[in-house]
C-alpha cells in the first residue's frame, strides 16, 4: 500500500528492515494520522462523502481501466494473500461503486472507502512498506487507488492529492507513472472535476474494472512521471533470512470451494458427493429440522444458518391466507444468502451457488472477484415472468397467475449473475435448452423410489397442486365428457368450485391410490418433477409437457402446454394402451 511512508516516517536502513525501524515507522505514522485528522475536522477542509446516485448512469464513458486481480500466485501463501487482496477490494468497492461527485467537489479515496480494519471485513493482503511487500490487514488497496488515479487522468479530472510509490511493484502501474499509493489516513488520493462525474467499479473473476462517466472533459491530463526506481522486495521470495519479516512461500495447494446451498435434490447431492473435498465448505440452511437440507452428504466442513431457516419456517406457517408463497420465499432466500455470505472466507475464490440465492448474493457484492457455478432447478425469473404473463392473458379469471412478480432488481441481478457464471448446472432439460452454446452442464435426473401404485382403471393422478401454472385449466377442459376420475393433491387450488361437475377427488395426506391409469401434469412451469420420475420408475404412463424438464423416453407422452385438445387425446390413448 505505502512505500513512501518508509521514506517519510522510517529511519534509513542500510540493510534489511528491523524491528526498531518498524516501531519508528508505526510511531511516525500515528503522528501523521493525527495531523491529517486535525486538518480534516477543520470546518471547510473536510472532504464530503459522496452518495450513490443514478443521474449519470447513462452518461458517456470518459475512462475505463481494467487490471488483473491475480498476479504471481505461485505458492500457497502468495495465493492466500492475493485472495485476501481481492477480499479487501470487495470491501472497498462498497464505498466507490455508483457514487456521483458534483462539479467542483473533492473526491477523497479514504473518505469514501473508510478505514480498512477487520471488523469491516478486511483481511490480510499484500502491502508495500519500507521497500518490501508484506502482509497487513487491508493490503492490496493500491490496485484500486492506482486504477482510480489512472482513470481520473484519462477523464481529465484535476488531481488534488496524489503520492507515487517509491518502489516498483511487478505488474503495477508505477513504472509508467500511473500509480497512486494510499495509506490510512494521511496518504490520500483526491480529485475533482469541473463537471459532475460518476464512478463505477466492479470485480469480475479475473479483473478489477473501474469506469468514470460524465459529460465533457475536465482539464488536460498531465504527462506521466515515468519512474525507474528499484523493484520492491517480496517477503515470500526475497531470500533475506535475517529479516524479521522473512516468511518463505510453500508449494501451492488448491484453494477450497464454498458450496452455498439450501435444500438438496438427488442430482445436486450426487454432484456434491462426486466433487466436494474435505477442505471445502458446505454452507447450508440447517440440519436440525426439516428434510430438505439434511439430504446433503456429510463430506466437508459445514456452516449452517439455523436462525434464517427457523425464521423461514415460521413465516411460511404463520402467513395470512392468500399471501403469495413466492414472495415469502424470496424474502427468506435473501436472509439465507446474507447469512451464507457473512461466513465466507477470503480463501473462497470459487463458489457453487444455489439458484435461489444467486440474485441476493450478486446484489450484496459477495460474488465480486470470485468465479462461481450455479445449481439451477428452474428457469430464470425473467423467463418465468414471461410465461406467467402470457398465461394470465389467456386466463384472466385465475387468482394465482398474477399474484406475484419478483422486483425488477431481482430479475436484473439474476440475469447479470447468470451471465457472469463460469458454468450452469442442471438436470432440467427445459432449463438447459434456455441457454445457448451449451452453457449448461446437463446432469441425469437422480433415481427416485417408484410410486407404490399399480397400473389399471380409469383414474389419473394429477402430479401437483391444482393451479393454473401446473396446467389445471387445460386439465379441466380436457376432462369434460370423459369417463375418468382425477385425483389431486390437497393444498393450493384455483378456487373451491374449480372442478365443479367433474369427477375429481382430493387425496388425503400420505394417501396413494392402489391403481391408476397414469400420471398427468400439463404444466406451464414445473421445477422438480419428482412425482413424474417416480411414476416412470414404476412403469406407469406419464403425460407431461416439455416444461417439466424430463427427456423423451418410453412411457412418457409430451404435449404442448395449455393445449386441452392434445391433452384429451393423450388421456384417451393412455386408457387404450392396456
CA-CA-CA-CA torsion sign (408, 411, 416, 417): positive
Which CA distances in Å does 216 have to 108, 155, 159, 512? 22, 9, 17, 72
pLDDT at 228 over 50: no
Average pLDDT over residues 359-378: 97
Separation of alpha carbons 368 and 346, rounded Å: 11
Tell me the whole-structure pTM to 2 decimals.
Answer: 0.86
Give the pLDDT confidence of 67-87 residue by residue, as tens digits. Answer: 999 876 567 778 888 999 999
Q: pLDDT value at position 248?
A: 53
At 437 the pLDDT is 84
- The helix (H) or strand (E) run that includes residue 267 is helix 266-275
Are the CB atoms for 395 and 516 separated by under 8 Å?
A: no
Q: Which value, to the nearest 10 degrees, does the dihedral of the CA atoms of residues 103, 1, 138, 301 take?
A: 130
Contact 445, 267 (CB under 8 A): yes
Distances (CA, A) of 164 to 23, 195, 237, 440: 23, 26, 24, 46
Residue with cell 533470512: 241
Mean pLDDT of 524-531: 95
Q: Are strands 257-260 and 350-354 parallel, antiparallel or unpaired?
A: parallel
Q: What one-character-per-residue DSSP string does 314-370 give? A: HHHHHSPTT--HHHHHHHHHHHHHHHHHHT--TT--EEEEEGGGHHHHHHHTTTTT-
List CB contacts of 261: < 8 A, sequence separation 6 or more. 268, 282, 283, 284, 293, 296, 352, 353, 354, 357, 375
- Pick 233 or 353 by higher pLDDT: 353
Q: Provide the Cα torsion 155, 42, 49, 85; round to 10°.
A: 80
Instruction: Please give the residue that has the higher pLDDT: either 375 or 28.
Output: 375
3-state helix, strand, coil in the chain (%, to 5): 35, 20, 45
For residue 264, which of 339, 356, 368 has the smallest C-alpha distance?
356
Q: Which tens digits make up the pLDDT trace of 128-152?
A: 765 666 789 999 999 999 999 999 9
Mean pLDDT (whole number) for 512-527: 94
Query: 114 or 246: which carries more pLDDT confidence?
Result: 114
Residue 202: beta bridge partners?
A: 209
- Whole-angstrom distance, CA of residue 257 vs CA of residue 350: 5
Which grid cell is 205? Answer: 473473476
Domains and CATH numbers, the chain: 47-234 (no CATH), 257-442 (3.40.50), 454-575 (3.40.50.2000)
- pLDDT per position as a tens digit, 384-404: 999 999 999 999 999 999 989
Kindly report the average pLDDT of the chain as a whole number. Answer: 87
Amino acid at each position: 500500500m505505502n512505500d513512501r511512508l518508509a521514506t517519510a516516517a522510517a529511519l534509513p536502513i542500510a540493510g534489511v528492515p528491523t524491528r526498531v525501524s518498524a516501531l519508528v515507522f508505526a510511531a511516525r505514522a500515528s503522528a501523521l494520522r493525527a495531523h491529517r485528522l486535525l486538518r480534516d475536522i477543520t470546518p471547510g477542509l473536510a472532504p464530503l462523502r459522496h452518495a450513490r446516485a443514478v443521474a449519470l448512469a447513462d452518461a458517456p464513458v470518459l475512462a475505463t481501466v481494467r487490471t488483473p486481480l491475480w498476479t504471481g500466485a505461485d505458492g500457497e501463501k502468495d495465493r492466500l494473500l492475493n485472495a485476501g487482496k481481492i477480499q479487501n477490494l470487495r470491501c472497498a468497492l462498497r464505498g466507490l461503486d455508483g457514487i456521483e461527485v458534483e462539479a467542483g467537489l473533492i473526491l477523497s479515496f479514504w473518505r469514501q472507502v473508510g478505514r480498512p480494519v477487520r471488523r469491516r471485513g478486511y483481511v490480510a493482503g499484500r502491502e508495500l512498506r519500507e521497500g518490501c511487500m508484506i502482509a497487513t490487514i487491508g493490503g492490496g488497496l493500491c490496485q484500486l487507488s492506482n486504477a482510480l488515479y489512472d482513470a481520473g487522468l484519462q477523464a481529465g479530472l484535476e488531481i488534488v492529492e496524489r503520492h507515487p510509490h517509491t518502489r516498483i511493484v511487478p505488474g503495477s502501474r508505477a513504472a509508467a507513472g500511473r500509480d497512486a499509493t494510499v495509506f490510512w489516513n494521511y496518504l490520500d488520493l483526491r480529485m475533482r472535476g469541473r463537471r459532475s462525474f460518476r464512478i463505477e467499479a466492479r470485480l469480475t473473476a479475473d479483473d478489477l474494472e473501474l469506469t468514470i462517466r460524465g459529460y465533457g472533459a475536465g482539464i488536460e491530463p498531465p504527462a506521466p512521471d515515468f519512474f525507474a526506481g528499484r523493484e520492491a522486495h517480496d517477503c515470500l521470495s526475497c531470500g533475506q533470512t535475517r529479516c524479521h519479516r522473512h516468511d518463505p512461500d510453500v508449494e501451492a495447494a488448491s484453494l477450497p470451494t464454498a458450496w452455498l446451498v439450501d435444500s438438496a435434490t438427488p442430482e445436486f447431492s450426487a454432484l456434491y458427493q462426486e466433487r466436494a473435498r474435505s477442505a471445502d465448505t458446505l454452507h447450508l440452511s440447517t440440519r436440525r429440522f426439516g428434510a430438505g437440507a439434511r439430504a446433503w452428504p456429510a463430506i466437508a466442513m459445514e456452516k449452517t444458518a439455523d436462525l434464517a431457516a427457523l425464521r423461514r419456517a415460521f413465516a411460511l406457517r404463520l402467513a395470512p391466507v392468500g399471501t403469495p408463497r413466492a414472495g415469502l420465499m424470496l424474502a427468506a432466500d435473501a436472509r439465507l444468502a446474507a447469512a451464507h455470505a457473512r461466513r465466507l472466507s477470503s480463501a473462497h475464490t470459487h463458489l457453487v451457488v444455489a439458484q435461489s440465492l444467486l440474485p441476493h448474493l450478486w446484489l450484496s457484492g459477495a460474488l465480486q472477484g470470485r468465479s462461481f457455478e450455479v445449481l439451477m432447478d428452474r428457469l430464470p425469473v425473467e423467463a418465468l415472468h414471461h410465461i406467467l404473463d402470457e398465461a394470465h392473458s389467456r386466463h384472466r379469471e385465475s387468482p394465482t397467475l398474477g399474484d406475484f412478480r419478483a422486483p425488477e432488481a431481482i430479475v436484473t441481478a439474476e440475469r447479470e449473475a447468470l451471465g457472469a457464471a463460469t458454468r450452469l448446472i442442471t438436470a432440467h432439460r427445459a432449463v438447459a435448452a434456455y441457454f445457448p452454446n451449451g452453457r449448461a452442464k446437463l446432469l441425469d435426473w437422480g433415481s427416485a423410489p417408484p410410486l407404490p401404485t399399480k397400473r389399471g382403471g380409469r383414474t389419473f393422478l394429477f402430479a401437483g397442486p391444482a393451479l393454473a401454472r401446473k396446467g389445471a385449466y387445460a386439465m379441466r377442459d380436457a376432462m369434460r365428457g370423459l369417463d375418468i376420475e382425477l385425483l389431486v393433491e390437497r393444498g393450493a387450488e384455483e378456487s373451491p368450485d374449480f372442478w365443479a361437475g367433474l369427477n375429481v377427488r382430493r387425496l388425503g395426506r400420505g394417501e396413494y391410490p392402489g391403481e391408476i391409469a397414469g400420471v398427468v401434469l400439463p404444466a406451464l412451469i414445473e421445477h422438480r418433477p419428482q412425482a413424474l420420475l417416480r411414476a416412470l420408475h414404476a412403469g406407469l404412463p406419464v403425460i407431461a409437457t416439455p416444461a417439466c424438464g424430463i427427456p423423451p423416453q418410453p412411457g412418457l407422452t409430451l404435449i404442448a402446454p395449455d393445449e386441452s385438445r392434445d391433452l384429451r387425446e393423450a388421456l384417451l390413448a393412455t386408457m387404450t394402451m392396456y
